[in-house]
Amino acid sequence: MHIVVCMKQVPRDNSVKINNDLSINAEGIEQIMNLFDEYAMEEALQWNEKLGGKVTVLSLGPDEWKEQIRRALAMGATDALLLNDPSYANLDVLGAAKVVADAIKKLGDVDLVLAGRNSTDDESGAFGPALARALGWPQLTYVGKFLEVNDGAKKMVVERHLEEQVETVETSLPAVATVVKDINEPRYPSLLRIKKVAKVEIPTWGAADVGAASSAASVAGRVPPPPRPKGEIVDGADAAEKVRKLVDKLMENQVI
Amino acid sequence: MQFDLSDEQQMFRQAVREFAAKEIAPNARHIDETGEFPTETFRKMGELGLMGIPFPEEYGGAGGDTVSAAVAIEEVARACGSTALAYAAHMGLGSAPIFMFGTEEQKQRFLKPAAAGKYIAAFGLTEPHAGSDAGATRTTARLEGNEWVLNGAKMWITNAPIAGHIIFTAVTDASKGKNGISAIIVPGGTPGLSFGKHEPKMGLRGSVSTAIMLEDVRVPRENLLGDPGRGFNQFLKVLDGGRIGIGAMAIGLAQAAFEAASAYAKDRTAFGKPIGAFESISNMIADMATGIAAARLMIYQAAWLKDQGRPFSQQAAMAKLFASEVAEKTCRDAIQVFGGYGYSQEYPVERLYRDQRLLTIGEGTSEILRVVIGRHILGGFVGN
3-state secondary structure chain B: CCCCCCHHHHHHHHHHHHHHHHHHHHHHHHHHHHCCCCHHHHHHHHHHCHHHCCCCHHHCCCCCCHHHHHHHHHHHHHHCHHHHHHHHHHHHHHHHHHHHHCCHHHHHHHHHHHHCCCCEEEEECCECCECCCHHHCCCEEEEECCEEEEEEEEEEEECHHHEEEEEEEEECCHHHHHHHEEEEEEECCCCCEEECCCCCCCCCCCCCEEEEEEEEEEEEHHHEECCCCCHHHHHHHHHHHHHHHHHHHHHHHHHHHHHHHHHHHHHCEECCEEHHHCHHHHHHHHHHHHHHHHHHHHHHHHHHHHHCCCCCHHHHHHHHHHHHHHHHHHHHHHHHHHCHHHHCCCCCHHHHHHHHHHHHCCCCCHHHHHHHHHHHHHCCCCCC
Q: What pLDDT is attached to residue B285?
A: 98
Measured between beta carbons, the chain A residues lying within 8 angstroms of B43 are none
Q: Which of A188, A195, A199 has its CB closest to that of B48?
A: A188
Q: What pLDDT is attached to residue B241?
A: 93
Chain A closest-CA separation from residue B189 CA (Å): 30
**Do B360 and B255 sit in the same domain of this protein?**
yes
- ipTM reported for the complex, 2 dp: 0.79
Q: What pLDDT is attached to residue B30?
A: 95
Interface size, chain A vs chain B, as Cβ–Cβ contacts under 8 Å? 49
If you count them, how many residues does chain A have?
256
Residue A254: CB atoms within 10 Å: 6
CB contact under 8 A, B15 and A194: yes
Tell me if B12 is assigned to some domain.
yes
Tell me if B317 is assigned to some domain.
yes
Chain A closest-CA separation from residue B146 CA (Å): 39
Q: Which of B194, B211, B229 is the last residue of a domain?
A: B229
A190 touches chain B (CB under 8 A): yes
**Do B237 and B374 sit in the same domain of this protein?**
yes
Tell me if B384 is assigned to some domain.
no
| Cα A204 to the center of its chain, rounded Å | 20
A191 touches chain B (CB under 8 A): yes
Q: Give residues with Cβ within 8 angstroms of B37, minimum separation 6.
A: B31, B86, B162, B206, B207, B208
Provide the strand spans (E) within chain A.
2-6, 9-11, 17-18, 24-25, 31-33, 54-60, 79-83, 112-116, 139-150, 155-161, 166-172, 175-179, 204-205
Contact B5, A187 (CB under 8 A): no
Q: Which of B63, B88, B120 is the last residue of a domain?
A: B120
Chain A closest-CA separation from residue B116 CA (Å): 10
Nearest to B135, CA basis, from B93, B185, B94, B176: B176
Q: Chain B neighbours among A 193-222 (CB < 8 Å)?
A: 194-195, 197-199
* Exposed e or buried b per residue across A220-247, where buried means at least 16 C-beta atoms within 10 angstroms of its C-beta: eeeeeeeeeeeeeeeeeeeeeeeeeeee
Q: Give residues with Cβ within 8 angstroms of B280, minimum separation 6.
A: none
Instruction: Report whether pLDDT(A40) > 60.
Output: yes
Chain B closest-CA separation from residue A198 CA (Å): 5
**Do B268 and B255 sit in the same domain of this protein?**
yes
Nearest to B239, CA basis, from B74, B372, B355, B379: B372
Measured between beta carbons, the chain B residues lying within 8 angstroms of A195 are 8, 57, 62-64
Measured between beta carbons, the chain B residues lying within 8 angstroms of A197 are 11
Q: List residues of B whose CB lies inside 8 A of any A CB.
A: 6-8, 11-12, 14-16, 18-19, 47-50, 53, 57, 62-64
Q: What pLDDT is attached to residue B297?
A: 98
Mean pLDDT to the nearest integer, A37-55: 96
Tell me if B1 is assigned to some domain.
no
Spatial separation of the C-alpha atoms in residues B106 and B95, rounded to whole Å: 11
Q: Nearest chain A Cα to B49, which residue? A: A191
Q: Nearest chain B Cα to A69, which residue? A: B11
Distance between the two ends of chain A, CA-based, in angstroms? Answer: 51
Confidence of residue A213 (pLDDT cuts 50, 70, 90): low
Distance between the two ends of chain B, CA-based, in angstroms? Answer: 38
Residue A8, Cβ density class (10 Å: 0-12 exposed, 13-18 middle, ≥19 buried): buried
Contact A119, A103 (CB under 8 A): no
| Cα A245 to the center of its chain, rounded Å | 43
Tell me if B383 is assigned to some domain.
no
* Angle, helices B349-356/B231-267, rounded to nearest 10 degrees: 160
Under DSSP, the state recorded for A22 is S
Q: What pLDDT is attached to residue A24?
A: 75
> Between β-strands A155-161 and A31-33, what pairing exists: parallel, antiparallel or unpaired?
unpaired
Q: Which of A191, A198, A199 has its CB closest to that of B48?
A: A191
Determine what percent of chain A is predicted with pLDDT higher than 70. 97
Spatial separation of the C-alpha atoms in residues B194 and A132, rounded to whole Å: 65
Q: What pLDDT is attached to residue A214?
A: 56
Mean pLDDT to the nearest integer, A182-211: 90
Report pTM: 0.86
Confidence of residue A13 (pLDDT cuts 50, 70, 90): confident
* Beta pairing partners, B170: B182
Spatial separation of the C-alpha atoms in residues B190 and B147, rounded to whole Å: 13
**For domain A2-215, which architecture applies?**
3-Layer(aba) Sandwich (3.40)
* Exposed e or buried b per residue across B25-41, where buried means at least 16 C-beta atoms within 10 angstroms of its C-beta: bebbeebbeebebbeeb
Could you give the residue ranges of the DSSP H alpha helices within A122-173? Answer: 127-135
Q: Nearest chain B Cα to A67, which residue? A: B11
> Between β-strands A112-116 and A175-179, what pairing exists: parallel, antiparallel or unpaired?
parallel
Q: Which residues does chain B have with pLDDT short of 70?
A: 380-384
| Cα A107 to the center of its chain, rounded Å | 20
**Do B238 and B373 sit in the same domain of this protein?**
yes
Spatial separation of the C-alpha atoms in residues A97 and A101, rounded to whole Å: 6
**pLDDT tens-digit map of B149-163:** 999 999 999 999 999
Residue A86: CB atoms within 10 Å: 8
Tell me if B159 is assigned to some domain.
yes
**B168 lies in which domain range?**
122-229
Q: What pLDDT is attached to residue B2?
A: 87
Q: Nearest chain A Cα to B21, which residue? A: A188
Q: What pLDDT is attached to residue B167?
A: 96
Q: What pLDDT is attached to residue A53?
A: 95
Residues of B known to be catalytic: 363
Confidence of residue A3 (pLDDT cuts 50, 70, 90): very high
Chain A closest-CA separation from residue B175 CA (Å): 47
Alpha-carbon dihedral angle through residues B219, B225, B228, B232, given to the nearest 10 degrees: -120
Q: What pLDDT is attached to residue B293?
A: 98
> Between β-strands B163-171 and B181-187, what pairing exists: parallel, antiparallel or unpaired?
antiparallel
**Do B144 and B48 sit in the same domain of this protein?**
no
Q: Which of A71, A190, A195 has its CB closest to that of B48?
A: A190
Mean pLDDT to the nearest integer, A26-42: 89
* Beta pairing partners, B122: B166
Total structural domains in chain B? 3
Under DSSP, the state recorded for A218 is B
* Angle, helices B39-48/B7-19, rounded to nearest 10 degrees: 150
Q: Which of B182, B211, B229 is the last residue of a domain?
A: B229
Instruction: Report whether pLDDT(A212) > 70.
Output: no
Instruction: Report whether pLDDT(A199) > 90.
Output: no
Tell me if B246 is assigned to some domain.
yes
Query: Structural domain boundaries of chain A?
Result: 2-215, 229-256
CATH number at residue B41: 1.10.540.10
Tell me if B310 is assigned to some domain.
yes
Contact A2, A110 (CB under 8 A): yes
Instruction: Report whether pLDDT(A216) > 70.
Output: no
CB contact under 8 A, B19 and A188: yes
**pLDDT tens-digit map of B55-77:** 999 999 999 999 999 999 999 99
